[in-house]
Amino acid sequence: MKSELAEMALDEKRTMLDDEAPDAVPVPHALVPHLDETAILLDIDGTLLDLMPTPREVWVPPGLSETLRHLTERTSGALALVSGRSLNDIDLIFAPDVFRAVAGHGAEMRLSVDNEADAVHAPPLDKELKRRLAAIAKLSPGILLEDKGYSLALHYRLAPHAEKAIYEAVSFIRAELPNAPIEVLPGKFVCEIKNSGFTKATGVRELMTHEPFKGRRPIFIGDDVTDETVFAIMPDMNGLAFSVGRRAMGVNGHFDAPSDVRAFLARLLDPS
């Protein structure tokens, strides 16, 4: 029998229903006159960048960084990357460019490209808890461990058969530590364990209270289960939400692949 945690993860994935979700994507020329009133919020993996077998293998396609730089200028700085990756990881991927960001599922935030971080909302995971969770990577070759300090991710794209065993092991540890303030985030071939109390949505809510984002209409594009928290708050901000690779419930439309997102962003600069 599958563990309760594994069932919860599968249930979350099933929330993305193809038969009732919208098809539309925004029309670039309808948004271009309003870029000075818009905030552009973008997930990275699976949204801007194509997914790869391991997190370290992702790469920035030619032209994307230039597009992001120009959109940052056109929005007077109101462009931010919203990712589960750490700020340091984001900077390594997009080097030498530096962008405003909500990182680590809301654990870190950078409001100015001149700062390393303006806010850190998460304490590091307990060392003993991290040690026990890290041992799960030994269940099968191909499980990759990523330590972000405030969270720990188990990537199993190279070992998809290990999914059930990973979630059962995490569930067992949580059962032994019922008072541990942690949350499990299921994703695309990744199980991430983080301290509770912060999400991408809490990070975006705070981001939107600061200049140059304050008072603007946000457009958020994301692909994974962890992006659903941001999808859910867009109506509160008169914002728009778009999913990638699947037609998520509660969004305004979807893109088929990251390449379509990149093309859309480029057309925002020149919609003709």
Whether residue 43 lies in the annotated active site: yes
Q: Cα separation of 251 and 234, whole Å? A: 9
Q: CB of 152 within 8 A of CB of 130?
A: yes
Burial of 212 (0-12, 13-18, 19+ CB in 10 A): middle
Q: Which residues pair with 182 in a beta bridge?
A: 195
Residue of 122, 102, 109 lying closest to 182 (CA atoms): 122
Q: Tokens standing for 245?
A: 């690779």
**Which residues have a Cβ under 8 Å from the Cβ of 33 and sit 6 or more positions away?**
none
Q: CB of 72 within 8 A of CB of 265?
A: no
Classify the C-alpha dihedral 41-47-53-56 as positive or negative: negative
Q: Tokens standing for 205?
A: 């809510």
User: Per the residue annotation, which of 18, 23, 36, 43 is the catalytic one?
Assistant: 43
Catalytic residues: 43
